[in-house]
Chains A and B, each alone.
Chain A
Amino acid sequence: MSALLELDDVARHFPVRDALGRARGAVRAVDGVSLAVPQGTVLAIVGESGCGKSTLGRLALRLIEPDRGAVRFMGEDLRALSARALRARRRDMQLIFQDPFASLDPRMTVEDAIAEPLKLHDVVPRGAKRARVAQLLERVGLRPEAARRWPHEFSGGQRQRIAIARALASGPKLIIGDEPVSALDVSVQAQVVNLLQDLIRDLGLTFVLISHDLGVVRHIADRVAVMYLGTIVEEGPAELVFGAPRHPYTRALLAAVPGHGARAAPIEGDPPSPIAPPAGCRFHTRCPFAEAVCREQVPVLQGQARRSEVAAGGSHGSAGQEHLAACHLQDRLPPAAPLQERKAGGDRLRRLQAHFGAPAPQPETTGVNA
């Protein structure tokens, strides 16, 4: 499996200045991250606010410049590209933002908004533009008549569909979604999550999902990277990161998701400041298992101890199945509490729910906000 997108020890620090403009340290937003996203897979980057996940997404598209490290897209270092070559490359990499109210220009009709990337990258001849816009609208479950209308005429969910159509217009290979469904209400969020899954499958997209919503991540992602204070603390296949988390922070995140029985908060306190992250393991100040070594040495992101790999016939190391954690104690932690499946509604609820949701994306039938 060749990686479509590869990050190699990427870092970005933002200087912090005092009232007189003098440098006073730096926010280490992304501090040495390496990742590979194979073609046709979905990687989710999860973490709490300020962990650096959005900065990482922008670095991956070279929308901001890294201080160090390499970003390779289809094997090509984006940092080595000229401005012109980079612009041409952008046809293959697109971004979907969180807020569909802010990301669409209110003075452009839906058709203009979706056609802009078509013009920019000369994707279709001028005469075919309108047909292509109609096709894109249909693809995201909107009627072609929507083309002549303005963004303010649409609800949040419909606007996010328009933003998705715009991102698809140039026929990209990679899409990065920065909290693409976080601003939406539950029922509308489910529609857009289903749409994204259909698009990823049908168009063979490579997708990087930046999200704090672990339910959405579990539903869409093949692999998951968990970030804490600018570094990746755990990375692996979604079912293993959720089912057998190897980093105490991942466990705390999962235990904090409501809906699995009220109990004591899994960890106390707030994340420390990224201006002065703790020495050693950055999580040691909140970690219930921390030992002396955690305060002194920075843990390396690595797989299970070699012996267990041998015991399992050495098959665990294969690409795509690697499960890595940056924790000194990862082989000594007590087993993670299993997730309790919510079965309250049982079979009856499942049968009732089967009546909901269309098998394929369908036009929304009601209520364009007049």
Chain B
Amino acid sequence: MTPPVLEVLGLSVEFATDRGPLRAVDGVSFSVAAGQTLAVVGESGCGKSVTALAIMGLLPRGVRLGGAIRLLGEELLGQPGDPWAGRRGRDLAMVFQEPMTSLNPAFTAGEQVAEALRLHEGLSPRAAMDRAVEMLARVRIPEAARRAAQYPHQLSGGMRQRVMIAMALACRPRLLICDEPTTALDVTVQAQILSLLDELKRETGTAVVLITHDLGVVADHADQVAVMYAGRIAEAAPAAAIFARPEHPYTVGLLGAVPSIEGGAGRLASIEGTVPDLRAPPPGCRFAPRCPFAGPDCEAQPPLADIGPGHVAACWRAPLDQVLAA
């Protein structure tokens, strides 16, 4: 069996703050195979974006990292020098949420796509620009040659996100990390960008880590799902299983909290309370203070245990059929 493109094992990320250390990511493990999309889902502050930055090697110096990050079988954490140098942009690339702030306003769209090609593939400026125009056409930018000569402020939000994707995919990376790639976009444009990403993934076999808070996006575009809560993985499973048989109470609550366009009577399932302060997290299960099924045993941290094929959940009550039977 070929090794997964990305393997994250027991990753922890700790920031030093004025009021003591804050462990934003605490023992997170997952892997992604070529041509697969892993969705990392959770609400603000759950650690999903920090995980993405850690994989990309983009966290500031002084942040304490633990565990392992293996790209194509090679360990990146704890290596001398900068193991990401030369890999970033070539083997792994990232698409950010806000295309306006992540594009350089002083360079044209074409120049920004061409930069990676010149850097990693040693193309001449002219050849790189030709390939850049090709890439822009591949992400379905109409009149790619004309658009390549335009600056970010002359492009719409959807167009800018296409430029970001063209930049990220220019050197055919094996791993693409998309951090809320469509959250800033309107729903019709979001649908365009997500179907474009799916298409490109099929063509290139790139492994995709999709960071999102939108369960609808997960349902339509992910193969595997990891649900994060307060820095830890609460539940991970194939996408179909997460929706058909969620086994962590947090996942159950999240699924019920999203109002659907089919309507449906009554109140939304709401998870009372707010996420814990990670400087002083509750002991044991971090979801326990908000969980309707919590008991005294939840003061011990539940392990991420197998409960089905490829399905793990960190809950003493899983499988939840026990609670229903009770």
Report which A residues bind B (CB closer than 8 A).
48-49, 155, 157-158, 185-191, 193-194, 197, 212-216, 218-219, 238-239, 242, 252-268, 270-271, 339-342, 344-346, 348-349, 351-358, 362, 364-367, 369-370
Note all chain A residues with C-beta closer than 8 A to B260: 215, 218, 259, 341-342
In Å, the complex CA distance between A222 and B202 comes to: 42
B198 neighbours in A (Cβ, 8 Å): 262
* Chain B residue nearest to A258 in the complex (CB): B216
- Interface 1/0s, chain B 262-289, versus A by CB < 8 A? 1110011111111111000000000001
Give the size of the chain B interface in residues (CB under 8 angstroms): 62
* Residues of chain A within 8 A of B254, CB atoms compared: 186-187
Q: CB < 8 Å: which of B188, B214, B244, B277 contacts A344?
A: B244
Q: Measured between C-beta atoms, what is the minimum distance from A193 to chain B in Å? A: 6
Q: Are A197 and B272 in contact (CB under 8 A)?
A: no
What are some 30 contacts across the A-B interface (CB < 8 A)?
Answer: A49-B186, A185-B213, A189-B257, A212-B187, A214-B261, A215-B258, A219-B259, A238-B263, A242-B262, A252-B188, A257-B187, A257-B261, A258-B191, A258-B216, A259-B215, A259-B216, A259-B219, A262-B220, A268-B192, A270-B156, A271-B186, A344-B240, A345-B245, A346-B244, A349-B246, A352-B249, A352-B252, A353-B252, A353-B256, A357-B256
Contact of A218 among B244, B256, B259 (CB under 8 A): B259
In the complex, A268 Cα to B215 Cα: how many Å? 23
Q: How many angstroms from the CA of A79 to the CA of B258 in the assembled complex?
A: 40
| B292 adjacent to chain A (CB < 8 Å) | yes
Contacts A48-B187, A256-B191, A348-B245; A157 near B216 (Cβ below 8 A): no
B264 contacts across to A, CB distance below 8 A: 219
B43 in complex: contacting residue of A187, A197, A218, CB < 8 Å? A187
Chain A minimum-CB-distance residue to B217 = A258
Q: Does B47 touch A at the CB level, under 8 Å?
A: no
Enumerate B235-252 residues with CB–CB distance to A below 8 Å: 240, 243-246, 249, 252
In the complex, besides A158-B274, A188-B274, A341-B262, 10 extra interface pairs with C-beta distance below 8 angstroms are A48-B186, A157-B274, A186-B257, A187-B254, A212-B186, A265-B194, A344-B244, A346-B244, A348-B324, A353-B252
Residue of A nearest to B182 (CB): A258
B255 touches A215 (CB 8 A): no
Contact A351 B324 (CB under 8 A): yes
Per the bound structure, the CA–CA distance linking A200 and B255 in Å amounts to 25
Say whether B187 contacts A256, CB under 8 Å. Answer: yes
> Which residue of B has the minimal Cβ distance to A48?
B186
B221, B246, B263: which contacts A262 (Cβ < 8 A)? B221
| Interface positions of B (Cβ within 8 A of A) | 43-44, 156-159, 186-192, 194-195, 198, 213-217, 219-221, 240, 243-246, 249, 252-264, 267-277, 289-290, 292-293, 320-321, 323-324
For B267, the chain A residues whose CB sits under 8 A away are 194, 197, 357
A265 touches B195 (CB 8 A): yes
- Among A213, A342, A354, which residue has its beta carbon within 8 angstroms of that of B219? A342
B2 to chain A, nearest CB (A): 26
- In the bound complex, do residue B270 and residue A265 qualify as a contact, i.e. CB atoms below 8 Å apart? no
* CB-based closest 6 A-B pairs: A259-B216, A258-B216, A190-B257, A353-B256, A356-B269, A215-B259
Using Cβ atoms and an 8 Å threshold, which residues of chain A touch B190?
256, 258
Q: In the bound complex, do residue A259 and residue B257 qualify as a contact, i.e. CB atoms below 8 Å apart?
A: no
In the bound complex, how far is the Cα of B186 from the Cα of A268, in angstroms?
Answer: 12
CB distance from B309 to the nearest CB of A (A): 17
Q: Nearest chain B CB to A217's CB is how many angstroms away?
A: 8
B191 lies within 8 A of A353 (CB): no
* Complex CA distance for A10 and B141, rounded to whole angstroms: 36
Q: Write the chain A residue with the least CB distance to B292.
A: A355
A188 and B244 CA atoms in complex are apart in Å by: 23
Are the C-beta atoms of B192 and A260 separated by less than 8 Å? no
Q: Is the CB of B269 within 8 A of A190?
A: yes
Contact of B275 (CB < 8 Å), options: A253, A354, A367: A367
A345 touches B246 (CB 8 A): yes
Contact B277 A258, beta carbon cutoff 8 Å: no
Assess whether B188 is in contact with A339, with CB atoms less than 8 Å apart. Answer: no
Q: Which residues of B contact A357 (CB under 8 A)?
A: 256, 267-270, 272
> Is the CB–CB distance between A358 and B277 below 8 Å?
no
A212 to B220, CA, bound (A): 20
Specify the chain A residue showing the minimal Cβ separation from B257: A190
Residues on B with C-beta less than 8 A from A185 are: 43-44, 213
Instruction: For A193, list chain B residues within 8 Å (CB).
Output: 259, 268
Task: Specify which of A48, A252, A260, A345 is in contact with B243 (CB 8 Å cutoff).
Answer: A345
| Shortest Cβ distance from residue B42 to the other chain A in the assembled complex, whole angstroms | 9
CB pair A364–B268 under 8 Å, yes or no, is no
Is B252's CB under 8 angstroms from A356's CB? yes
**What separation, in Å, do the CA atoms of A258 and B181 have in the docked complex?**
14
Contact among A258, A340, A341, A370 with B194 in the assembled complex (CB-CB below 8 Å) = A258
Enumerate chain A residues within 8 angstroms of B292, measured Cβ to Cβ.
Answer: 355-356
> CB < 8 Å: which of A261, A265, A353 contacts B188?
A265
Q: Flag if B273 contacts A266 (CB, 8 Å).
A: no
Min CB distance A151 to B, Å, is: 15
Q: How far is the CA of A189 from the CA of B256 in the complex (A)?
A: 12
Give the one of B44, B263, B264 with max A CB within 10 A.
Answer: B263
A353 to B214, CA, bound (A): 19
The CA of A157 and the CA of B270, in the complex, are separated in Å by: 12
Q: Which of B159, B246, B257 has the most CB of A within 10 A?
A: B257
Asked, given contacts A48-B188, A190-B269, whether A258 binds B214 with beta carbons under 8 Å apart, the answer is yes
A342 and B243: CB pair below 8 A? yes
Q: Name the CB-closest residue of B to A155.
A: B274
Closest to A186 in B: B257
CA distance A136 to B275 in the complex (A): 25
| Cα–Cα distance between A346 and B292 once the two chains are bound (Å) | 20
A143: shortest Cβ distance to chain B, in Å?
13
C-alpha gap A226/B41 in the complex (Å) = 30
**Chain A residues near B240 (CB-CB < 8 A):** 344
Complex alpha-carbon distance, A9 and B277, angstroms = 50
A363 to nearest B CB, angstroms?
9
The reply to whether B274 and A367 form a contact with Cβ atoms under 8 Å apart is: yes
Chain A residues with CB under 8 Å of B275's CB are: 367
Chain B hits for A369, CB < 8 A: 277
**How far does the Cβ of B168 sit from chain A's closest Cβ, in whole Å?**
20
